[in-house]
Structure 1
């Protein structure tokens, strides 16, 4: 609690300066959002979410639940706290800690206490049993030797028991070696979550990605990468941070900060927040609550796209007709004569058609409706521009 008070006190002056600016901005933004939500135009554009957008939301929701329920227990499955299971303080001599450990988990009748024997493993906690499954006496001797110094115990709180027990190249006088050992475990959840974000935002359109999810790629990819960089930076600089300093001066086991174990929990929470936020904005966009998405569904956007494709096809046909006339009809005497005769017949037919009473009446009626049609076209164009 005292740490939280210290952190809050350090930001007190900044808060006093920022509050007079942030409070009016928040009030104006909230007032604008409130009136937008109450407007009939906003309510009219809300519609049920499509099946593809619902699939994206469900995938992200499943990932969020999996991170919160399963990631931390799995990540901590083989992590143990040697000081906790032996009920020792951080200042307890390591020889005493090792003796307590061997007394607690020695195999019956084993001289010197060999805790990796199968009979002893049956009495171990599950996480300790998994950690000791493939260890040897040399590994345990090296493990306890690394805890003989205060700096080694500080690194133990930061990089965990797996690094101290299984890493062959790690040295307490070179903390970066422990960092290299735990780096894959740190990056693995971020890489997996980054793959999930890319799958739902940049995957095959006919599989899972939708227009509403594709527009959030850069934002959530950037957030995931930033979280990974901050996590890596924390563990890289851990020996020189305030967390390590607090552990050096800790008078009890509970006063020390066990960063590696706690990082699993907060890593899962932050990644779950990323996935839940992406699912939420996809749901908002997919139901029309975030903005009018008639342009991104089967509305104006699809109609405009089909019209552009039809115009493009017409232009291609005109080009083919021009090439055919230039290279075939214009160079052949018989074709050219037939083309001229067809032109004369077309002009004669067009003249008779224009002189027909029904055609004259239709042209006159069209001239009368021209003004009304122009007004309707201008109104539709204005609505289209506003929605864009």
Structure 2
């Protein structure tokens, strides 16, 4: 594969940085300001989204654990610290000194007939070399088609997890809005993985004379595959958390949803007013409650009259009416309020 030098990376950063950085900052600010622009407040994480985040977290951890060398298929060249051109008998003699040989080792030994088979081993791994019955070193492409299901299996599994995590049934509307983007990202990642495996110049290892010069592509590609899948799930989890709590990536409610919300609020207010009317009607019709109500207001009038006759209260009211309160403005507001309340009733009658 073509190596990109550090100097090339710095040149690209210096060229594209001034162009992309302001746009990135502006996009970040617009994303952060979107909730306030739509009048949405930060809300707690819903249980359905939490379930999706938990599934994504567990799958990401599984992918990261599978990158550990102890869980990777054995690399006999690294295990025996042997160079690529070592004789087959010497290679497997070293391997037998470390552990007993298996049936797969015996099959693999019979496949190591030339340098091409060893290069294909580094490209597609030990399983393809030892178990493929129709593959031959004369047709290297046959190993690619045999290894293709194992390459796509993690991607298909992760795609199923993404479909679950972005399902409107299990994660709600906020998560479902990211389903298309998550699916496209998963398909793009799978296509890129297949492309890199199919176009990797595996024969460049033929020039490697020492162990540290060998490109163990199968093992490095496997680790990168699981790391990229874990990063994809982590990125989706972040955007799900931000969007579901209205911290970023806010989807504004549609006009129909706004109307429905307003109708629901008005319905709740009407129900409360009806309840107040029922309570008041009951208090007026019931003799005992009516007597207690009249007694309360009679006592309230006596108490307030005594309070209003105190010297401090009288002086405070006079000062407020003289210097701090605009009586004419209050009267005007009261007349407008009364007119707005009474005019609809007069028009209906």
Place the TM-score, normalised by the shorter chain, in its bin.
0.5 to 0.7
Note if 1:51 corresponds to 2:13: no
Alignment of 1:215-234 (within 5 A): 215-234=177-196
1:95 partnered with 2:95: no
Matches within 5 A, 1:5-20: 6-20=4-18
Deviation of 1:230 after TM superposition, in Å, equals 1.1
Contact 2:239/2:249 (CA < 8 Å) preserved in 1? no
- Are residues 365 and 229 of structure 1, via their aligned partners in 2, closer, same or farther at CA, if it must alter by over 3 Å? same
- In the TM superposition, residue 78 of structure 1 has moved relative to its aligned partner by 6.9
Deviation at 1:306, TM superposition (A): 7.0
2:171 match: secondary structure: coil
Which residue does 1:83 correspond to in 2?
77
Tell me which residue corresponds to 2:161: 196
TM superposition shift of 1:367:
8.4
- The correspondence for 2:230, drawn from 272, 279, 290, is 272
Query: Larger relative CO (CA 8 A, sep 6+): 1 or 2?
Result: 2
- 2:58 is matched with which residue? 62
Q: Could you tell me how far 1:12 is from its partner in structure 2?
A: 5.0
Q: How much does 1:16 deviate?
A: 4.0
Change in Cα spacing, 1:226 to 1:178, as seen in structure 2 (3 Å) is: same
Q: Alignment partner of 1:210: what SS?
A: helix
Deviation at 1:24, TM superposition (A): 3.4
Unaligned runs of 5+ in 1: 107-114, 116-131, 308-360, 370-388
Q: How many residues are paired up?
A: 273
Counterparts of 1:105 and 1:61, CA distance in 2: 37
Q: State TM-score, norm by structure 2.
A: 0.66
- Find the counterpart in structure 2 of residue 353 from structure 1: none
TM-superposed deviation, 1:246:
3.9
Structure 1 residues 189 and 304: alpha-carbon distance in aligned structure 2, compared to 1, 3 A threshold: farther
**1:72 counterpart = 2:67:** yes
1:144 is the counterpart of 2:144: no
Structure 2 residue 344 is matched with structure 1 residue 366: yes
Displacement of 1:362 in angstroms is: 9.8
Report Cα offsets for 1:292-330 as digits up to 9, x if no partner: 56738xx736536979xxxxxxxxxxxxxxxxxxxxxxx
Which consecutive unaligned segments of at least 5 residues does structure 2 have? Answer: 266-338
The CA RMSD over aligned residues, in Å, is 3.6
Matched, 1:290 2:248: yes
Equivalence for 1:253: 211
Name the CA distance, whole Å, in 2 between partners of 1:90 and 1:157: 10
Structure whose residues are more often helix by fraction: 2
- Say if 1:171 and 1:177, in contact at 8 Å, map to a contact too: yes
TM-score w.r.t. length of structure 1 = 0.60
SS in 2 for 1:163: helix
Residue 41 of structure 1 and its aligned partner are, at CA, apart by 6.5
Cα displacement (A) at 1:259: 1.5
